[in-house]
A and B are shown apart, each in its own frame.
Chain A
Amino acid sequence: MRELVRRPLFWSTLALLLLIALNTAVTPSFLSVRLQDGHLYGSLIDILRNGAPVLLVALGMTLVIATRGIDLSVGAVAAIAGAVACVYIAGSDRPAATSTVVSAVALAVGVCILLGLWNGFLVSVFGIQPIIATLVLMTAGRGLAMLITDGQITTVVNPAFKVLGAGFVATLPVAILIALAVFAVTAVLARRTALGMLIESVGINPEASRLAGVRARTITWTVYVFCAFCAGVAGLMIASNTSAADANNAGLWIELDAILAVVIGGTSLAGGKFSLLGTLVGAMFIQTLATTIPTIGIPAEANYLFKAVVVIAVCLLQSPRVRAAFRSRRPVSTVKAGAA
């Protein structure tokens, strides 16, 4: 139990459960899930579906943060992915065909990988600080998306494209299935191979890792590409869900939600040790929180404030120092008793 309490995952899971309990108390139907037309419906399912993009982005962000980096450009990359796909579909000869969607998705993901290569290049080859390097694309990226969509909100009507963000397979939302699949593949790659350990090593001590023969540069670079890939897929989900590419608003602030999810999941912004499971819990927490705010009647104006307070509380709970401060009251008195 002592061991358990010390783990960040314990606290984030506890926070998530508390949040769910709060929701259930306010809206007793919160936990109910019903089957209708072969699809599952309910608040929990909504959270899973809407949380898929944040989860995806947070997965990529986890690895970037593990290498001591940060990627601020994920929101912009998501917008670009949506823009590329929608403009391609809208402009093609057969805007309703499934094959069009396949090539649109491939094209969008390809573009995102290029963007990831760019970020990784700036960080690993030029050694620019990650926050600055990715800030470039964060600001320029939305402009790029605007250029692609010509400043318009490009809408598409294509049933195949709709599946990505709003479809169901075997009663479950496709979006969450994709996100979980990426999660599973990442977890297997990180923990069944040596990749995770090498990423952590680079994040903890880059110079020692380099001298030990770790390809620190390649690893850093790859991680940014992976992050952009995740952001791209998330962007496609968002565009699919709304059947439109909105260069200004798609994926807006998602980088912050993703970073919060990572931090709540117990991965330190200082780099090094990371927890993918923690990120999963963190992303679900963030999404549940977003659902909770209207449910419990917090006025829209106080939305961000409330979120900030909750996030700070969770982070404080995890901080070893804060917990030590709580604990230190106890031993001091016992020692006094012992000395007397």
Chain B
Amino acid sequence: MTQVTTSIPPPAVGTPVVEMRGISISFPGVKALADVDFRLLPGEVHALMGENGAGKSTLIKALTGVYTIDEGTVTVAGTDHRFTSPADSQAAGISTVYQEVNLCTNLTVAENMLLGREPHRFGRIDVKAMNRRARSVLDRLGLSIDPGSSLGEHSIAIQQLVAIGRALDIDARVLILDEPTSSLDADEVAKLFAVMSDLRDQGVAILFVSHFLDQVFEISDRMTVLRNGKLVGEYLTRDTTQLTLVEAMIGRELETLDRLEHQAPTAAPDEARVPLLQVLGLSRKGSLQAVDLEIYDGEVIGVAGLLGSGRTELARLLFGADTADAGTIDVRGSRRRFRTPRSAIGAKIAFSSENRRAEGVVEDLTIADNMLLTLQAARGWLRPVPQRTRDRLVEEYIKALDIRPPDPAALMRNLSGGNQQKVLLARWLITQPELLILDEPTRGIDIGAKTQIQQLVAKLADEGMSVVFISTELEEVLRLSDRVVVMRDRAKIADRFNDESVTVAGILATIAAGGAELKEEDSDA
């Protein structure tokens, strides 16, 4: 399984459209890529695989001219290239969606999609034509949002789709998608894959990164695996199994883990127990209809629902990130009003946002500062966390979550996406909350680390912490939760104990059973 496969898959037209040879890139203190070869054939979907920090995004940025290559050559369609900016590579027919989607939330959807390529009429931007063109691309992705609406209004998933739409609009022979599906639900992934298959049939070469093995096996023809910045090998997907792939990625066998040994807290809560959190009629106009919810100590509540179903909105109201219009929250029997996140943090509630880049990461600060930010904010500026405590906590969590590089002074901006997510988790764990709200905590996290985080959640719950676990992956929700709350159309539609009778199919059926259309984009399906 370590030798490089040399046979070429069926649709291949012999010569690779992209060929990278002996690529090395170093950052101060890190060798991100060491002598990596990579090729991309026309008419194939090629998955780039590897753990968090393996160098996938770096390889992509090396190809598209974001980073300067220390050593190695890049050939695109037979000619040597040394791109010095993303615009260069775009001009050479490489269209890229980077992992950290970088759009302008204050511009409209259409403006974002066509930025720099706006259609003109009489010397001015032709807004109508622009919206029309955006509309047609959005249709391909099955997205029925208004191209003239401002991007900031939409969820992170829609924003991700818009970024993909932007890349599709460019007539490219190479399409690069770095974790495009991390915040999409099954439906949207299916639509994206349909578009990708189409493009593949037209001869476009697609480079695809994902930590979802099922997706990789569904869509890709070939894969390249990286580990610690080195090439492990290139494989044909049809000759490979998930198990061998994972072994190639992590360099050893993965301990299988299907069951999590989390003991649900004492069966049905009796009348006398005071819930940690009792929520009655919590609502906010336009984002959440009145929700009742009880959370007991040591309970893991899974929240299932499609995008835009109100999952994130519920979490934000519980945390005071938005203020509720109506409803009450009692913490251990006493009434609380959370007008700011700070007041919720004071009540020992933690919230890790799904939107890592905009709402979590403080890029120019170090790992240590990012980890200790909440603790420090809670202590107030006059009482800095003592150096000793600081060092101890940071070291402890770097080790516990296997954060790479394990350097407390590394800048957050230089971490790979998955490692940033781990630092943010640590930020909240350090505050020792009683209720931990996790909105898509395993987004962008590799499969080894994902089970690690799930285990951690189970362990914390065993120790008495309550957890609200929001995830697009229903399997994950079911594996972890004691109770499952199902959301739809910004309202709670079900709340049941997670016993054998609850299945992924059952939840999907519950969601569908609501009657009316599930989501706006389904209305024409």
Contacts and interface: CB of A to CB of B under 8 A. Distances in A.
Given A207-B359, A208-B359, A210-B340, A198 B377 contact: yes
A127 to B, nearest CB: 14
Contacts of B376: 194, 197-198
Nearest to A2: B28
Interface stretch (A12-20, A112-120, A146-154, A211-219): A211-219
Interface in A179-220: 192-195, 197-198, 200-201, 204-205, 207-215
A49 interface: no
A331 interface: yes
A194 B381 contact: yes
Interface stretch (B288-296, B362-370, B402-410, B458-466): B362-370
Interface string B410-428: 0000000000000000010
A204 B363 contact: yes
Chief secondary structure at chain A's binding surface: helix
B348 to A, nearest CB: 12
Interface string B350-367: 010100001111111100
Contacts of B353: 211
Contacts of A273: 364
Given A194-B385, A273-B364, A214 B377 contact: yes
Nearest to A327: B68
Interface stretch (A83-91, A242-250, A332-340): A332-340
A328 interface: yes
Contacts of A335: 69-71
A16 B155 CA distance: 50
A207 B322 CA distance: 12
A211 B341 contact: yes
A272 interface: yes
A87 B159 CA distance: 59
B30 interface: no
Q: Which of A204, A211, A273 gathers most chain B CB within 10 Å?
A: A211
Interface in B331-387: 340-342, 345, 351, 353, 358-365, 369, 373-374, 376-385
Contacts of B377: 198, 209, 212-215
Contact of B384 (A192, A205, A213, A331): A192
Contacts of A210: 340-341
B340 A204 contact: no
A208 B381 contact: no
A207 B442 CA distance: 21
Contacts of B378: 213
A193 B341 contact: no
Nearest to A214: B377
Contacts of B364: 200, 204, 272-273
A208 B73 contact: no
Contact of A332 (B82, B379, B381): B82
Given A204-B365, A273-B364, A331 B342 contact: no
Contact of B342 (A194, A208, A215): A215
B369 A197 contact: yes
A265 B424 CA distance: 31
A212 B384 contact: no
A201 B374 CA distance: 11
Interface in A310-340: 328, 331-332, 335, 338-339
A198 B379 CA distance: 12
B321 interface: yes
B321 A211 contact: yes
A211 B384 contact: no
Nearest to B69: A335
A201 B70 contact: no
A331 B68 contact: yes
A201 B368 CA distance: 13
A201 B373 contact: yes
A52 B383 CA distance: 31
A213 B381 contact: no
Contact of A211 (B84, B351, B369, B383): B351
B70 A213 contact: no
Interface of B: 68-71, 73, 82, 84, 319, 321, 340-342, 345, 351, 353, 358-365, 369, 373-374, 376-385, 427
Interface of A: 192-195, 197-198, 200-201, 204-205, 207-215, 272-273, 328, 331-332, 335, 338-339
- The 10 tightest CB contacts between A and B, nearest first, are A213-B377, A214-B377, A213-B345, A194-B384, A195-B381, A212-B374, A213-B342, A212-B373, A194-B381, A205-B362
19 contacts: A194-B376, A194-B383, A194-B384, A200-B365, A201-B362, A207-B359, A208-B360, A208-B362, A209-B377, A210-B340, A211-B321, A211-B360, A212-B427, A213-B374, A213-B378, A214-B373, A215-B377, A332-B82, A335-B69
